[in-house]
Amino acid sequence: MSIQHFAPGDIIDISPFGANFDTATSATLIRESHLEVFRFALKAGKLTPEHTAAGAIIIQCLEGTVELTTGNRSQILTANTLTYLKDGEPHAVKAVTDSTLLITILLKRE
């Protein structure tokens, strides 16, 4: 069974989970040859190990607070903030509080 993604022109609700965070799940919303968008729910204290994306990446914090580490730099993203990372930049994310991120990757696949 294949995963159903949204189609061009579909309206996608990216509202914060808020009081429903306990039932929050991460999901890929858009997957095209050049673009991937996913909503990533991360519970407080959880960490993604250092990794790189398959292209330039935009990380937008929809709710909560996360610590983003790139190389020897750490910075805090809070609700309604975003950052941009260059293609191949190693990064890790730790949720300070229950958090939801909207991740957009401009894919550079071979």
Q: State the CATH number of the domain containing residue 29.
A: 2.60.120.10
Structural domain boundaries, residue 99: 24-107
pLDDT on residue 2: 47
**Spatial distance between the Cα atoms of 98 and 22, rounded to a whole number of angstroms:** 9
Residue in 73, 71, 66 with CA at minimum distance from that of residue 102? 66
Say yes or no to pLDDT of 1 above 50: no
Strand, coil or helix: what is 61?
strand
**Spatial distance between the Cα atoms of 103 and 77, rounded to a whole number of angstroms:** 13
Residue 18 lies in a domain: no
Residue 14 lies in a domain: no
Name the pTM for this structure.
Answer: 0.90
pLDDT on residue 72: 87
Total domain count for the chain? 1
Residue 34 lies in a domain: yes
Residue 15 lies in a domain: no
Burial of residue 28 (CB within 10 Å: 0-12, 13-18, 19+) is: middle
Structure token digits, residue 40 = 């990533």
**Tens digits of residue pLDDT in 18-75:** 999 999 999 999 999 999 999 999 999 999 999 999 999 999 999 999 999 998 899 9
